[in-house]
Structure 1
Amino acid sequence: MKLLSVLFAVTLCSWLVTCVPTQEKKDRIHHGKDLSDHKHDDSKDFQYDHEAFPGREDAKTFDQLTPEESKERLGKIVDKIDRDKDGFITNQELKDWIAHAQNRYIYENVNKHWRDYDKNKDDKISWEEYKNTTYGYAADEEPFYDVPDKERYRNMMKRDERRFKQADKDGDLIATRDEFTAFLHPEEFDYMKDIVITETIEDIDKNGDMLVDVNEYIADMYTPENDEPEPEWVKSERHQFAEHRDLNKDGKLDRSEIGHWIHPHEYDHTDLEAKHLIYESDKDRDDKLTKKEILDNWNMFVGSQATNYGEDLTRRHDEF
């Protein structure tokens, strides 16, 4: 899923990097992108299941295993999916596992950088720890000595603090691992949607009216060079703005309309994939799977999200 990095990355990174206006379309929409470019036609092959996760390039690791090794490791994964240990895999358990596989890269990224921020090693990160690590211990001093573009630097720190407070559910200015994940990746959490909308407006709105007109909307995606004619996709985006984004037809997008734009209501592709896997493997039609049913259809599962497209099969059991 492709999203504009300035919206969702840690803001200091955006400050350190010199941004060049792109000539290609940017996508701020957070949506359940289809899980593969291939048609879902299991009568021919399992290519859709094999590539249904954005990390599908790692699926080739599956080719390194023999069928026997694949079945053995798949069995260990099934034991993990079966959270209540009743011997059956329900749609919800399979859906949760697929979502877990989808989001693992986020949590692995958080874990990778956790030690950089958790200075006192209490397995939590306070706003002070984050601020001091990111902006330096002199961040509260006026002015910001030896800092170029001081006003932008100050505004970025305020924006980070606002997002940190939104992610911090109990308001103690100390983030648990889940709260810190919500801070770094707000697009993945329902309770962070409002702050994502606010930051989107701030990024695009140039005249300060907290609304987005069509020119601001286009400027976020495209900057012409040397009076070149607008590409067809830009003309198409103008049409999209007028016909589908601007719901009340007043020529501008308000908070509600921006919410509809960046958080559209679409199919839950993880749910569809879970239902598909169950339908294809559920021999007794009881709407749940046993380990035997899964292993009997192992070739479909090792090429699906349930094993992160084969990547999980190459992990040690204690890594899950």
Structure 2
Amino acid sequence: MMMLNLLASLCVLAVVAFAVPAQEKRIHHHSDLSDHAHDDAHGFQFDHEAFLGKEEAKTFDQLTPEESKDKLAKIVDRIDTDKDGYVSHVELHYWIKHRQRRYIEENVNKHWNDYDKNQDGKIAWEEYKNTTYGYYLGEQFDDVADQATYKSMLTRDEKRFKAADRDQDSIATREEFTAFLHPEEFDYMRDTVVQETMEDIDKNGDGRINIDEYIGDMFTPEPGESEPDWVQTEKKHFLEVRDANKDGYLDASEVAHWILPGEVDHADNEAKHLIHETDTNKDGRLTLSELLDNMDYIKTSTITDYGGMRVDGHDEL
């Protein structure tokens, strides 16, 4: 259903669905390299999707060993822009950044025609609202509880749409619609990302987040379930790190520092990590042979495709 696909695309607060600690899902890393935790102790799925991209990673998992080697060779040739037979840190960093950009572009393109009903190259708020929520808010949809939920979602979407709509004409250009779908990518949407996070976690509506709300966003015990050790660690982290002014609460600025941790280049970090893990002779660059020797590792990374990379020559860099 379009609605379910939309909700998956707009769930900005689940940019990265890390396993433990759960609060890491709140941190925005500028277009997720992967939905998996970067935890080498429990597998390499993060790196798999960082090298291959989410869709291509799925494809790799279905190939025979020979097909995987052939496809990886084509990908490495694409990454090796100077054709010297090596993948350098610069080339790998550029590739991962390229896949990030392509993922966002393709995600916007995927939704564009669903909402631009009059094909004028723009999406009006009314077009988006009617397409997304028309059925759920109509008289024929009589589930009161669900209707209230969708009305709440509509209110949030309207606020975000208005924030993305820089000229305030209630019509989104492609860039404005991109800011609507991916607000974490735009500096002027920073306050919106923070406000939505505050609204999610601040259950008592006092405009700030206490430690119980902070923990409750990550962990709600089932009857008889004991508290994991990491919860105590997170409580300590709340008190010693998150709550910078030590007043017992997180305000908007403290939440911003938490979920939008500055100009960290995660593509650069991932490129360094991949080289560190697969550079057998430790010369600071990768050969096809080294990557083939680490096929299991690569088949679990973001460099092979971000949002559906093709290696038949049609996916231009």
Give the TM-score, by structure 1 length.
0.65
Contact 1:8/1:185, CA 8 A, preserved across alignment: no
Query: Aligned with 1:253: secondary structure?
Result: coil
Task: Name the stretch that deviates more: 125-134 or 48-57.
Answer: 48-57
Deviation at 1:106, TM superposition (A): 3.8
- Aligned-partner residue type, residue 308 of structure 1: D
Counterpart of 1:317 (choices 305, 313, 317) is 313
Counterpart of 1:157 (choices 154, 162, 169) is 154
Contact 2:123/2:172, CA 8 A, preserved across alignment: yes
Aligned to 2:17: none
Aligned to 1:125: 123
Q: CA RMSD in A?
A: 4.6
Contact 2:79/2:91, CA 8 A, preserved across alignment: no
Deviation at 1:224, TM superposition (A): 2.3
Contact 1:205/1:211, CA 8 A, preserved across alignment: yes
Q: Deviations over 1:29-56 (max 9, x none)?
A: 22387996559xxxxxxx9976644635
List gaps (5 residues or longer) in structure 1: 15-22, 40-46, 83-88, 282-292
List gaps (5 residues or longer) in structure 2: 15-19, 280-284, 293-297
* 1: CA distance, partners of 2:195 / 2:151: 18
Contact 1:186/1:193, CA 8 A, preserved across alignment: yes
Aligned to 1:29: 27
Deviation at 1:133, TM superposition (A): 0.5
Deviation at 1:166, TM superposition (A): 1.4
Task: Name the stretch that deviates more: 49-58 or 114-123.
Answer: 49-58
Q: Deviations over 1:226-274 (max 9, x none)?
A: 3544222222211111111101100000001001111124742323456
Aligned to 1:244: 241
Aligned to 2:142: 146
* 1: CA distance, partners of 2:291 / 2:258: 34
- Aligned-partner residue type, residue 227 of structure 2: E
Counterpart of 2:232 (choices 216, 230, 235) is 235
Query: Aligned with 1:136: secondary structure?
Result: helix
Contact 2:211/2:238, CA 8 A, preserved across alignment: yes
Aligned to 2:98: 100
Q: Deviations over 1:215-234 (max 9, x none)?
A: 11111112223354422222
**Bigger radius of gyration, 1 or 2?**
1
Q: Deviations over 1:160-219 (max 9, x none)?
A: 111011122332222233322221222333322210110111111122211000011111
Aligned to 1:135: 133
Contact 2:75/2:304, CA 8 A, preserved across alignment: no
Contact 1:245/1:253, CA 8 A, preserved across alignment: yes
- Aligned-partner residue type, residue 170 of structure 2: L
Deviation at 1:126, TM superposition (A): 1.3
Is 2:218 aligned against 1:221? yes
Distance 1:126 1:228, change over 3 A: same
Aligned to 1:188: 185
Distance 1:154 1:272, change over 3 A: closer
The number of residue pairs the alignment matches comes to 275
Deviation at 1:102, TM superposition (A): 3.0
* 2: CA distance, partners of 1:231 / 1:37: 18
Query: Aligned with 1:317: secondary structure?
Result: coil
* 1: CA distance, partners of 2:60 / 2:167: 40
Q: Deviations over 1:113-155 (max 9, x none)?
A: 322211112232111110111121895x9x9973524554433
* 1: CA distance, partners of 2:187 / 2:8: 14
* 1: CA distance, partners of 2:238 / 2:64: 43
Query: Aligned with 2:241: secondary structure?
Result: helix
Is 2:174 aligned against 1:177? yes
Distance 1:62 1:232, change over 3 A: same
Counterpart of 1:253 (choices 236, 247, 250) is 250
Counterpart of 1:113 (choices 111, 114, 119) is 111
* 1: CA distance, partners of 2:216 / 2:166: 35
Distance 1:243 1:68, change over 3 A: closer
- Aligned-partner residue type, residue 127 of structure 1: W
Query: Aligned with 1:252: secondary structure?
Result: coil
Identical-pair percentage: 49
* 1: CA distance, partners of 2:46 / 2:157: 39
Query: Aligned with 2:314: secondary structure?
Result: helix
Query: Aligned with 1:258: secondary structure?
Result: helix
Q: Deviations over 1:83-123 (max 9, x none)?
A: xxxxxx99878645422213534433332232221111223
Counterpart of 1:199 (choices 196, 215, 229) is 196
Give the TM-score, by structure 2 length.
0.66
